[in-house]
Amino acid sequence: MLSLRLPIPSENALAPLKTKPSRFLNPRTQTHLYCLPSAAPKPQAKLQIPRATTADVARKDLEEEEPLPEGLRRELMPKHVAVIMDGNGRWAKQRGLPPGEGHKAGVESLRAVIEISARYGIKVLTVFAFSYDNWIRPKVEVEFLMSLFEEVIKSELDNFAREGIRVSVIGDSTKLPISLQKLIADAEEKTKENSIFQLIVAVSYSGKYDVLQACKSIAQKAKDGLVQVEDIDESLIEQELETNCTEFPYPDLLIRTSGELRVSNFLLWQLAYTELFFAPEFWPDFGKDGFVEALVSFQQRQRRYGGRNT
């Protein structure tokens, strides 16, 4: 039986948050969030999360079709969902914790979203884990994130490989620690034949740079006589973008959490006709409920691609 829920603390272990309670009002449910007394986990403490999660999901997915929540239809499911997982820092700050704790909590939200994406028949999930523009953040936070990426890849890789999940990483990997570069190469190699579900992680990624490197590559090919200028079209550019690692390069749905209404240099070319969903919650609070709400909203949209409804 699959279980990704965090352990529920016993009732007397729950205490309403005393300071500025209104800031902890869950915008979705209008209920107050609670935290454990003696506060939050120690900064270096590992989160206690049940393992073999995505693996269980994929196995179940193969065996039977998961019943969907009310309001969702399998045939209307987006093929590709992209997510800007924003608000980890503010989530941590609200709790008096360093930003790294927000990122750690964000991994749990990511696990939940991967889990239901695979269950519901979404084929590709692209997550913005680290923007090229994030390199200017404090060294301690950047190093924490790099270690976190390594930890997550190490702990999940066998499950991904075994259960048909392909992992791809886009972005300028040359700036990443060598140990992380090796892990990424290994993860991509081990899972490259998998086709049930694809997780694309954008790390050190810049949408502008993606378009730029595609232009440079095409220009070089034209210079070398491999491409004629009149043959340069959208399809050729698509083939040169970093999302050429997937069969479905154009996200149907982009989700951004934390109330910010920006695209922030994510998949710029690829988002041309993407439906947008902005959620008020910080990423660690988004999880399954937020994701289902985004999918329901998506399934109610009319996509016209510049045309008219019949």
Q: Which residue blocks in the chain are alpha helix, DSSP H?
A: 53-63, 88-94, 99-120, 139-162, 178-191, 207-223, 234-240, 283-299
Regarding 290 and contact with ligand FPP (CB under 6 A), the answer is: no
Regarding 148 and contact with ligand FPP (CB under 6 A), the answer is: yes
Cα–Cα distance, 221 to 212 (Å, whole number): 14
The Cβ of residue 226 has, within 10 Å, a number of other Cβ atoms equal to: 10
Regarding 134 and contact with ligand FPP (CB under 6 A), the answer is: yes
Regarding 88 and contact with ligand FPP (CB under 6 A), the answer is: yes
Stretch that binds ligand FPP, among 51-59, 125-133, 214-222, 301-309 (CB under 6 A): 125-133
Q: Whose CA is closest to 268, among 190, 214, 193, 198?
A: 214
Angle between helices 139-162 and 178-191 (to 10 degrees): 20
Which of 53, 80, 81, 103 forms a contact with ligand FPP (CB under 6 A)? Answer: 103
Cα–Cα distance, 223 to 130 (Å, whole number): 34
For ligand FPP (CB under 6 A), the number of binding residues is 20
Strand, coil or helix: what is 122? coil
Regarding 87 and contact with ligand FPP (CB under 6 A), the answer is: yes
The amino acid that residue 185 corresponds to is A
- Closest-by-Cβ residue to ligand FPP is 89
* Minimum CB–partner distance for residue 109 and ligand FPP (Å): 7
* Token pair for 305: 């691609």
Active site residue 231: no
Per-residue contact track with ligand FPP, 173 to 202, x per CB under 6 A?
----------------------------x-
Regarding 77 and contact with ligand FPP (CB under 6 A), the answer is: no
Residue numbers of the site for ligand FPP (CB under 6 A)? 85-90, 99, 103, 106-107, 110, 127, 129-130, 134, 148-149, 152, 201, 258
